[in-house]
Chain A
Amino acid sequence: MKKYTLAVLVENKSGVLAKVAGLFSKRGYNIDSLAVGVTEDPEISRITIVVQGDDQVLEQVTKQFNKIVDVIKVLDIEGDDTVERELALIKVTADVTTRAEIIQIANIFRARIVDVARNSITVEVTGDESKIQAIEKLLRQFGIKEMARTGKIALVRGPNKV
C-alpha cells in the first residue's frame, strides 16, 4: 500500500464532495485525510485527499474522478516538490507542575498556546504530518483530552498552477 496525495479542483456546488468521497467508499478504501476550501476563484473549490492504495486502484479512482461532471482537474501530487501543511488543535491536561514543560515543548515546535484553563492547555500547531505526529507523541504523556486536525493541504512549489 502506498500513500497518495490528490489535489482535486471542483465546481463549488453541493453534492460534489459526497460524490468524490463516494468513489472511495464504493471500493472500500478509507480516506486518511480530506481538506476542502474555496480557491482564488470563488466558484472553484480545492479538495486535498490523502489516501492509501495500490497504483492500479489509484489510477482507477483518478479516472473516476475525472468522469464527475463537476470535477475540473485531478492531480496526483505525491512525490512532487510541494509545500504541505496541516493544522492541529490539541487540548492537553495540565496543572501547575506540568504547565511549564508543555509550554516549552510547544515553543520548540513553534506551536502556539491558544487557550489556558486551570486543568488544561490548548496548543495550536502547524506543519507537515510528521511534525504534528511528533508533538502529539510528546504531549501524550501529559494526557490529551481532545484533538482536532484539519487534514493536509498542499501546493506544488514554484510559479506553476495545478
Chain B
Amino acid sequence: MTIGSPEKVTGARALIKGLEEEDVTTMFGYPGAALLHIYDELYDSDLRHVLVRHEQAAVHAADGYARVTGKTGVCMATSGPGATNLVTGIATAYMDSIPIVALTGQVPHSIIGNDSFQEADITGITLPITKHRYLVPEAKDLPRIVKEAFHIASTGRQGPVLIDMPKDVINGEFEYHSIETVKLQGYKPTYRGNAQQIKKAAEEIAKSTNPIIYAGGGVISSNASAELVELAETLMAPVTTTLMGIGSIPTEHPLNLGMLGMHGSKYANYSVQGSDLIIAVGARFDDRVTGKLQSFAPNAKIIHIDVDPAEISKNVPAHIPIVGDAKIVLKSLIKRVKQCNSETWLEKINEWKREYPLTYEQGKSIKPQFVIEQISEACSNAIIVTEVGQHQMWAAQFFKYKEPRTFITSGGLGTMGYGFPAAIGAKVGRPDKTVINIAGDGSFQMNSRELATAVQNDIPVVSVILNNGYLGMVRQWQELFYDRRYSHTCIKGSVDFVKLAEAYGALGLRVEKPSEVRPAIKEAIASGRPSVIDIIIECEENVFPMVPAGAAINEFIGLEGNK
C-alpha cells in the first residue's frame, strides 16, 4: 500500500526519507566515492551522522547504540574496502542478535562483477553473518527495502541486515511513495508461546524442588527483565545469567547467582549441576556455558524458551520447548505457577555462596578486580562497555549491575576492539548516562584511533585501561596450559596511553597506586571530556574461577582467586 502524493526523488533522497520514516535520528559512517550523493543529502538533513575514523568503528558504534537504546542502529560505508571493513562488526552483531542496518555503497550495476575499482561482493561476503541482505535492483525498490530491512532487523530474533546500494540506484530518480506495510511471505516470527507447552512447563515447575532459571541476552532484547525477576521471586528459584544476560536481574538481587560457565561463579555452576529443572530463557547453551555437553546438568529437565526455533535442542535437548518472545511467554507462564518447594535447595546454594564467594587477594600492586569494584562504587549507574579478554570477565564478575542494557560486551564473537567504538555509540544513544569502556591494553589498541571521533564529536566516553602489559587472557592460557611459554603475548611498553590520549586532544591520566584509582575515575568523569585512564595493574593476575575448555562446568582449576 502506498500513501502520499508522488514526488520525483533520487535513491539517495529516498534512503534518507526512508530512514526518517523509521525514526532514525543518528547514524555512524564514513564517506566514499559510491556514497557521494547520499552524503550530499546528509549535508542539510536533520539526521545526525557521526563521522568515525575507520568503518569498523561505525558498525560497532551502531551496535553499541542499539544495545543501550533498544532501537535499530544504523551504519554506512562505501563500496569495496569500506564495506569489507564492516564485516567483523556485522558478525559481532549477528552472534549477539543485535538489530542493526548496515548500508553500503556499491559500484554501478553496469560494472558489477567486473572486479571494478572499489568493488566487493558484500552481499556474498556477509551471507552467513547477516539475518538478511539486499542488493538493491533499482532506485524505486529502495523505500520497500528500507522498510523491510528495519522490520527484519528489529523483530523475531533480532540481527543485522545489510543493504548494498549500487551507485546507479543511489543516483537514479523515481517517483517516491512511502511504504506502509511489509509483505514477506517467508518471515513470520512466533511471539506467543504454545499454550499447551506453557501448561506443561508449569506442571513441570510445580514438581521441581531444585529449579534454576538460566537467562540470556534474549531477556534483554525482549525487555523481559521485570518478568524474569517476577518469575524468580514467584518460584523462589535462583537465576544464573550468561555473559549476555548480565543486567537482566540486578547483581545484588538475593536470587541472582551471577554468571555461569567457564568463568562463572562456582556457586552458579554447582547450582546448574545440582538442579532438577532448568528454565532457559533467551539463552542458547553456548559451549562457554555448558562445558562438556555430556556432563551438563545431568539430572535436570529442560524448559527452553526462545524466539528462534533453531536454538531449541541445538546443543542440549529440551524436554519442553517453547518458541516465543521471552516477555510474552514469561508473562503467561507467571500466571500459571506458584512458589516451588525450594527451601532446602536455596539453603544449599547459600552455603555454596558463603563457601565459594567471588573474591581476590589484595596486594601492593593494583588488582584489576579492585579497579572494577572502585568503578562500581564510584558510578553505580554507569553503562559499562568492555573489550574482550580478562578485563571483560572481571567487569562481568565484579561490577554491580542494576538494570538491563548497562553491560555492553561482545559475547558471541568475542571481538577485541569492540568496546571503545561501541562505547561511543552507547554514549550517543544515552547521553544522560556515564559510559565507561573497560579495556585491556591489547584490545584498546585495536581501535584507539577512534579517540579522534570522540574528541571531534564531543562524546565524553571514559576508557579505563587495565594495563598488564600482556594480551592477558591468552597469556593466562599459556601460563596454565603451555608451561608459561608466553609466545607473542607480551606487549609491554607498546605506547604511552596518556600521551596518546593527549595527542588526540583527550584527557589522559595514569594510575600506579591503589589509592589513586578512585580519584582518577572521578576526575575523568567530572572533566566531561573523552578520557583515558591508564591503570598499571598486577601483570600476571588470572581470571578465576575457571573451567578449562571441554571440561564439565563443576571441574574448576587453579582456584587461587576463589578460595
Contacts and interface: CB of A to CB of B under 8 A. Distances in A.
Interface of A: 10-11, 14-15, 18-19, 22, 26, 56, 59-60, 63-64, 66-73
B127 A15 contact: yes
B186 A64 contact: no
Given A22-B127, A26-B128, A69 B152 contact: yes
B350 interface: no
Given A69-B152, A69-B187, A72-B186, A15 B133 contact: yes
A69 B132 contact: yes
B199 interface: no
B310 A71 contact: no
B309 interface: yes
Interface in B218-258: none
A74 to B, nearest CB: 10
Interface of B: 123-124, 127-128, 131-133, 135, 152, 157, 184-187, 308-310, 312-314
B186 A71 contact: yes
Contacts of A68: 186
Given A26-B128, A69-B152, A15 B309 contact: no
Contacts of B187: 69
B310 A69 contact: no
A15 B135 contact: yes
A11 B185 contact: yes
Given A69-B132, A69-B152, 13 more contacts: A10-B186, A15-B123, A15-B127, A22-B127, A26-B128, A56-B313, A59-B313, A63-B310, A66-B310, A67-B157, A67-B310, A68-B186, A71-B186
Nearest to B186: A72
A100 B498 CA distance: 90
Given A15-B135, A63-B310, A70 B186 contact: yes
A113 B135 CA distance: 44
16 contacts: A10-B186, A11-B185, A11-B186, A14-B135, A15-B127, A15-B135, A18-B124, A18-B127, A60-B314, A63-B312, A66-B310, A67-B308, A69-B131, A69-B186, A69-B187, A71-B186
Contacts of B128: 22, 26
A59 B314 CA distance: 9
Contacts of A15: 123-124, 127, 133, 135
Contacts of A18: 124, 127
Contacts of B184: 69
Contact of B310 (A19, A26, A60, A70): A60
A158 B158 CA distance: 39
Nearest to B311: A63
Contacts of B313: 56, 59
Nearest to A63: B310
B309 A66 contact: yes
B319 to A, nearest CB: 16
Residue in A22, A26, A68, A69 with the greatest tally of chain B CB atoms within 10 Å: A69
A157 B308 CA distance: 32
Contacts of A63: 309-310, 312
Nearest to A59: B313
A70 B133 CA distance: 10
A18 B121 CA distance: 13
Contacts of A10: 186
Given A15-B135, A63-B310, A72 B127 contact: no
A59 B132 CA distance: 21
